């Protein structure tokens, strides 16, 4: 058991260090946080208390309890996953996220060469991670790493999207079989694809790499 844990740890850390160098060559800042506590501490240190923070739809953010940590930090958190909001209120929050001081999102897949791939149904997350907020933090556990852009698309369509469709109780084929069927359904969460090849020119950008598995 001991040997296994050590090897998992070594592998996660080594892959993150390799990726961090690739990301820096693409203009991104890269930070590696060893565990969830170190991650929350880093984020609540680099984000000032008076900054508004938009949260993208991300299971990783919630699993890591960053949403709670930011509220405790005193930040105004713009979170459209707040279940007490009406659809109209959720859309108003999505609008405000586009001009937040800071936007935080998960990543659906990141290639070995540092390309960042995301898919959305509504598109608010892809808009915010491309232009609008002054600073963006995008988070990826090692389970998000894919060998190539083709591998990234396979991972998103056959791992991330089915799990999200199931979580959202959507009537898509992937929520029944666990695999993508290129549905094109009205409820499809795969309507828009965004690939960041390099850092968007006018946004401060940090990719936070986590040497463990988190989110879908």
| Contact predicate 23/30, CB 8 Å | yes
What residues pair up with 139 in beta bridges, in sequence order?
106, 208
- Residue 180 binds ligand SF4, judged by CB under 6 A: yes
Which of 32, 33, 116, 174 is close enough to bind ligand SF4 by CB under 6 A? 174
Could you tell me the smallest distance in angstroms from the CB atom of residue 18 to ligand SF4?
A: 29
Q: Are 55 and 81 in contact (CB under 8 A)?
A: yes
Does the footprint of ligand SF4 cover residue 200 (CB under 6 A)? no
Q: Which among 139, 143, 152, 141 has a CA at the least distance from the CA of 111? A: 152
Residues 106-165 close enough to bind ligand SF4 by CB under 6 A: 157, 161-162, 165
Name which position in 172, 199, 210, 211 contacts ligand SF4 (CB under 6 A).
172
Distance between CA atoms of 121 and 192, rounded to whole angstroms? 6
Smallest separation, CB 80 to ligand SF4 (Å): 20
Q: How many CB atoms neighbour CB 12 within 10 A?
A: 21
Radius of gyration of the chain (CA): 17
56-79: burial string, b at 16+ Cβ within 10 Å, e else: bbbbbbbebebbebbeebebebbb
Member of 19, 116, 190, 207 binding ligand SF4 (CB under 6 A)? 190
Task: Please identify which residue in 33, 117, 139, 183 interacts with ligand SF4, judged by CB under 6 A.
Answer: 183
Stretch that binds ligand SF4, among 21-29, 47-55, 180-188, 194-202 (CB under 6 A): 180-188
- CB of 216: closest distance to ligand SF4 in angstroms? 12
Decide if residue 166 touches ligand SF4 (CB under 6 A): no
**What minimum distance in Å lies between the beta carbon of 14 and ligand SF4?**
31
Residue 142 or 174: which CB sits closer to ligand SF4?
174
Of residues 129 and 161, the one with the C-beta less far from ligand SF4: 161
The answer to whether the CB of 26 falls within 8 A of the CB of 197 is yes
Whole-angstrom Cα distance, residue 66 to residue 86?
23
What b/e string do you get for 173-187 counting C-beta neighbours within 10 Å, with b at 16 or more?
A: bbbeeeebeebebee
Footprint of ligand SF4 on this chain (CB under 6 A)? Answer: 157, 161-162, 165, 172-174, 180-183, 185, 188-190
């Amino acid at each position: 058991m001991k040997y296994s844990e050590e090897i998992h740890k070594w592998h996660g850390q080594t892959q993150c260090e390799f990726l961090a160098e690739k990301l820096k060559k693409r203009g991104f800042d890269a930070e590696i946080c060893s565990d969830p506590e170190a991650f929350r501490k880093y984020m609540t240190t680099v984000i000032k208390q008076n900054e508004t923070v938009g949260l993208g739809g991300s299971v990783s953010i919630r699993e890591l309890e960053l949403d709670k940590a930011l509220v405790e930090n005193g930040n105004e958190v713009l979170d459209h996953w707040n279940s007490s909001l009406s659809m109209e209120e959720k859309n108003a929050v999505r609008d405000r996220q586009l001009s937040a001081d800071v936007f935080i999102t998960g990543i659906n897949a990141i290639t070995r060469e540092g390309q960042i791939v995301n898919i959305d149904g509504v598109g608010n997350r892809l808009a915010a991670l491309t232009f609008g907020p002054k600073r963006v933090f995008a988070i990826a556990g090692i389970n998000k790493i894919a060998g190539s852009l083709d591998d990234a698309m396979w991972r998103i369509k056959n791992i991330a999207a089915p799990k999200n469709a199931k979580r959202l109780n959507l009537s898509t084929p992937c929520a029944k079989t666990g695999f993508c069927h290129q549905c094109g359904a009205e409820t499809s969460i795969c309507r828009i694809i965004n690939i960041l090849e390099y850092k968007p020119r006018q946004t401060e950008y940090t990719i936070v790499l986590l040497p463990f598995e988190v989110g879908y």
